[in-house]
Structure 1
Amino acid sequence: MAEHEFLAERFEEHRARLRAVAYRMLGSLSEAEDAVQEAWLRLSRSDAAAVTNLGGWLTTVVGRVCLDMLRSRTSRNEQPLDARLPDPVISPEDGLDPEHEVLLADSVGLALLVVLETLAPAERLAFVLHDMFGVPFDDIAPVVDRSPAAARQLASRARRRVRGAAPVPETDTARQRQVVDAFLAAARGGDFDALLAVLDPDVVLRADTGAMRVVHGATAVAGQAMLFRRPDRFAMRALVNGTAGMISFAADGPVSVLGFTISGGKIAAIDILADPERLARLDLTLLDG
């Protein structure tokens, strides 16, 4: 029993990092937890004494578990590309709690996760493990059943797609909030010109209500923004994946979570989760008080 407890303690030292890997791989908080739990089961059934680098071993195990889960989605046509928004990570506006800081290290905004959703499973794994967590290609290669050189190519292809599709976000939270507040004020005031002034010309709005709807371009997005004028709704500021966002409420509870990607002083992406089933599963207790 003492040996099992010692192994469990060692595993817990790596849990936060493993959850961060799985979240980037899967875009789902619940599935990320499942992947981490599976890694623990595999560790508990293995000869842990023979593992010289436990953190590296666990990271590749979680990567393999996530890869299998992604491939299973694809084979069942469970989630076509771009069919859903990733799960948002919601925190109080005054700052991330320590758990969320680890989960969202290196600015994993919703816009970036949406791009990761479009990658092939092996590309996603190579990019996440190498570019985000520094895993060597020699360790990635066996997971994807390729040579290290081929694994490097997978990450390179993924990197080009990410750079071409994911805007570079503004990192100053105060500046983010200024832009978001200007957007909301313009939307509530019905000021179309003011909306255009804070929207990037190529802004993308993605709304997941159970089915995904995508709107491109500042003019079209500004038109959609008039929906924020509804008098029966109120908003609460929050951090959504570490950046300025908001939760919209009706009298009977939350109706949407909005994440904003600010780039170059303008809104480059708006991601809205409004699927009632998924909203009901969100943990909003951190926003209390």
Structure 2
Amino acid sequence: MDDKNVLAERFEAHRSHLRAVAYRMLGSLTEADDAVQEAWLRLSRSDSDSVENLGGWLTTVVGRVCLDMLRSRSSRGEESLDARVPDPIVDSVDGVDPEHQALLADSVGLALLVVLETLAPAERLAFVLHDMFAVPFDEIAPMVGRTPAAARQLASRARRRVQGSVPTPDSDLTRQRQVVDAFLTAARGGDFDALVAVLDPAVVLRADTGAGAPLEVRGAAAVAGQALTFQRMARFARPALVNGSVGIVTDVDGQAMAVLGFTITDGKVTTIDILADVERLRGLAM
């Protein structure tokens, strides 16, 4: 086996980890794959024999690539929006595909990814690499052009934002399924009171259709009212796992029209994140 094939095998051993890093950084499965591919190109052009810790080197490269991609979004005027819904990872309600396990480690729900979208690029990098992948601040600092102490502050600011905005979800999938089924039954029946009963008083609904500004609705009554507009499509809905939690997919003639991710805390729905951008959904595995 030649050196190139050996290097390719070594890289493949790290691919799932690198894709998990990039997905958390970018919230886009396509862009995550692009970032991982760029890491391979840089590795193939480098003097790999001088790399002592290949996994750490590749993580740093992917982090830098993702940071550049986030900054490029900002320079094009694509500032993060509170209601922007990242690409969901959809699985059968019976279980998560083994290929998705690394992507979904650490309970990376849509609600968390939505909040990460609102962070400044350097904050997101510091938080994702340190808090999710235990990369030391002295390795993060050169990526963001800061001292290790300043990189620590970036992560701390991001952590406060996340902790203050992302509710802790219930872990029992059976209980989640019961709540989501109750929501779906109420939506299908147009039962406003039953919808309010399953919603947390401070529930937040975010919907990204790809047309115009994303929608954000807050409060049980307002969200229940919005959910009633889902009544016609609810008959096409089926349960699924969305980023590892019980959610809903609506299919019409074999085409996914919407993916609804739920965060359920203490038996109540605290967030609903809806991706209804058909073009984006067409590129996702369902």
Q: Is the TM-score greater than 0.5?
A: yes
Query: Following the alignment from structure 2 to structure 1, what is the Cα–Cα distance between the partners of residues 256 and 46?
Result: 44
State the secondary structure of the residue aligned to 1:230.
helix
2:94 corresponds to 1:130: no
Alignment of 1:144-183 (within 5 A): 144-183=144-183
Query: Following the alignment from structure 1 to structure 2, what is the Cα–Cα distance between the partners of residues 34 and 255?
Result: 25
Q: 1:269 aligns with which of 241, 248, 271?
A: 271
Query: Following the alignment from structure 1 to structure 2, what is the Cα–Cα distance between the partners of residues 81 and 192?
Result: 29
Look up the equivalent residue of 2:166 and give its one-letter code.
A
> 2:195 touches 2:224 (CA, 8 Å); kept in 1?
yes
**Alpha carbons of structure 1 residues 187 and 53: separation in structure 2 relative to 1, 3 Å:** same
Identity of aligned residues (%): 72
Q: 2:250 aligns with which of 248, 251, 254?
A: 248
Who is 1:287 aligned against?
Answer: none
Unaligned runs of 5+ in 1: 285-289
Look up the equivalent residue of 1:156 and give its one-letter code.
S
State the secondary structure of the residue aligned to 1:239.
strand
Unaligned runs of 5+ in 2: none
Who is 2:237 aligned against?
Answer: 235
Query: Following the alignment from structure 2 to structure 1, what is the Cα–Cα distance between the partners of residues 32 and 115?
Result: 18
Query: Following the alignment from structure 2 to structure 1, what is the Cα–Cα distance between the partners of residues 234 and 130?
Result: 47
Q: CA deviation at 1:169?
A: 1.1
Look up the equivalent residue of 1:283 and give its one-letter code.
A
Who is 2:283 aligned against?
Answer: 281
Who is 2:262 aligned against?
Answer: 260
**Alpha carbons of structure 1 residues 145 and 231: separation in structure 2 relative to 1, 3 Å:** closer
Who is 2:39 aligned against?
Answer: 39
Post-superposition CA distance 1:192-249 (Å, at most 9, x none) = 2221111011101111111311111000001111123217841121111110011112
> 1:184 touches 1:228 (CA, 8 Å); kept in 2?
no
Pick which of 117-126 and 185-194 moved more: 185-194
Who is 1:50 aligned against?
Answer: 50
Query: Following the alignment from structure 2 to structure 1, what is the Cα–Cα distance between the partners of residues 234 and 30?
Result: 31
**Alpha carbons of structure 1 residues 175 and 83: separation in structure 2 relative to 1, 3 Å:** closer
| TM-score normalized with structure 2 length | 0.96
Look up the equivalent residue of 1:238 and give its one-letter code.
A
2:103 corresponds to 1:98: no
Q: CA deviation at 1:270?
A: 0.5
Q: CA deviation at 1:25?
A: 0.2
**Alpha carbons of structure 1 residues 232 and 112: separation in structure 2 relative to 1, 3 Å:** closer
Q: 2:226 aligns with which of 224, 247, 253?
A: 224
| TM-score normalized with structure 1 length | 0.95
Query: Following the alignment from structure 1 to structure 2, what is the Cα–Cα distance between the partners of residues 77 and 24?
Result: 21
Look up the equivalent residue of 2:30 and give its one-letter code.
S
**Alpha carbons of structure 1 residues 83 and 171: separation in structure 2 relative to 1, 3 Å:** closer
Query: Following the alignment from structure 1 to structure 2, what is the Cα–Cα distance between the partners of residues 176 and 80?
Result: 29
2:114 corresponds to 1:114: yes
Who is 2:195 aligned against?
Answer: 195
Q: CA deviation at 1:136?
A: 0.5
Post-superposition CA distance 1:48-72 (Å, at most 9, x none) = 1111111111111100000000001
Who is 2:207 aligned against?
Answer: 207
> 2:124 touches 2:155 (CA, 8 Å); kept in 1?
yes
Who is 2:16 aligned against?
Answer: 16
Pick which of 134-143 and 219-228 moved more: 219-228
**Alpha carbons of structure 1 residues 32 and 39: separation in structure 2 relative to 1, 3 Å:** same
Query: Following the alignment from structure 1 to structure 2, what is the Cα–Cα distance between the partners of residues 260 and 54?
Result: 37
